[in-house]
């Protein structure tokens, strides 16, 4: 096992409120890790710290970048620097250009990562390697058949899949998935779960998931970390964590997980 992401005593305060309370965690490359917790547990703040959207009050964040053997300190990095270092995030709310086709959206994301000035609407971009990468991403995510479809005509589930493709375009070492099944019908949930499994098997990337659907969490996770009031409450296999009475108590009176 290789640690690809680590936090040491990570803390975030908003005035007197401690949203993330000295969280220390190591994410290994051979496991899908789900981070769950009741509303207000600090999950979103924790993700925002990892991606550079928020700066921590204390502690540190370390990321394995590219083929490096050692972790890099990204505690003070900006979001684009974190992305370039190899950490990608899919958002709970779709974050795509509705007026562009699926292929054009993936091209924008890929070119942005490469830092290349290209006409993303052109079929002949002059960079065959970029176009080959785009086609590979479309195939991996099952989007080839709708690649030239405008995104504003897609279903919610299809848009979420496009968003996953955009996150993959930066070639992440660590892929944070934020509520990947939010707003989906049962058929779409099944399809996304299958996609996550396939990507985990096919890619040299580590998946970290936050998800309210506990059937999905138990289905895809090798490890579950439970946050409550900004701190780690439980950490272990799905069977062990869900049998923990403290976890049950944390969710009493909560509608979601």
We report the CATH number of the domain holding residue 220 as 3.40.50.300
**91 found inside a domain:** no
- The model carries a pTM of 0.87
20 plus 7 within the same structural domain? yes
Decide if pLDDT at 124 tops 60. Answer: no
pLDDT for res 255 = 47
Domain range for 144 is 96-168
Mean pLDDT of 205-218: 94
pLDDT at residue number 114:
66
Q: Are residues 79 and 179 in the same domain?
A: yes
Decide if 80 is inside a domain: yes
Q: What is the mean pLDDT of residues 132-157?
A: 96
Tell me which DSSP letter residue 152 carries: G
Task: Indicate the number of domains in the chain.
Answer: 2
- ∠ CA 70-59-69, nearest 5°, is 5
28, pLDDT greater than 70: yes
**What pLDDT digit, counting tens, does each position of 33-84 carry?**
999 999 899 999 999 999 999 999 999 999 998 777 789 999 999 999 999 8
Shared domain check, 214 and 143: no
Q: How far apart are CA 159 and CA 150, in angstroms?
A: 10
Q: Do 145 and 255 lie in a common domain?
A: no
């Amino acid at each position: 096992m290789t640690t690809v992401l680590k936090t040491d005593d990570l803390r975030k305060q908003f005035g007197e409120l401690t949203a993330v309370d000295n969280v220390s965690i190591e994410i290994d490359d051979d496991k899908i890790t789900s981070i769950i917790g009741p509303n207000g547990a600090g999950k979103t703040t924790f993700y925002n710290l990892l991606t550079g959207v928020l700066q921590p009050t204390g502690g540190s964040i370390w990321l394995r970048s590219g083929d490096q053997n050692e972790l890099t300190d990204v505690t003070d990095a900006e979001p684009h620097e974190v992305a370039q270092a190899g950490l990608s995030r899919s958002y709970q709310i779709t974050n795509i250009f509705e007026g562009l086709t699926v292929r054009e959206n993936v091209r924008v994301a890929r070119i942005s990562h490469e830092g290349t000035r290209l006409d993303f609407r052109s079929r002949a971009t002059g960079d065959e390697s970029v176009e080959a990468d785009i086609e590979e991403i479309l195939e991996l995510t099952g989007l080839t058949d709708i690649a030239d479809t405008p995104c504003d005509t897609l279903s919610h589930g299809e848009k979420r899949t496009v968003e996953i493709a955009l996150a993959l375009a930066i070639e992440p070492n660590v892929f944070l998935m934020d509520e990947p099944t939010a707003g989906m019908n049962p058929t779409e949930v099944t399809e996304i779960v299958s996609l996550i499994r396939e990507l985990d098997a096919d890619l040299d990337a580590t998946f970290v998931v936050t998800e309210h659907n506990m059937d999905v969490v138990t289905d895809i996770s090798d490890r579950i970390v439970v946050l409550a009031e900004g701190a780690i409450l439980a950490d272990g296999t799905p069977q062990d964590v869900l049998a923990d009475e403290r976890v049950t108590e944390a969710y009493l009176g909560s509608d979601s997980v």
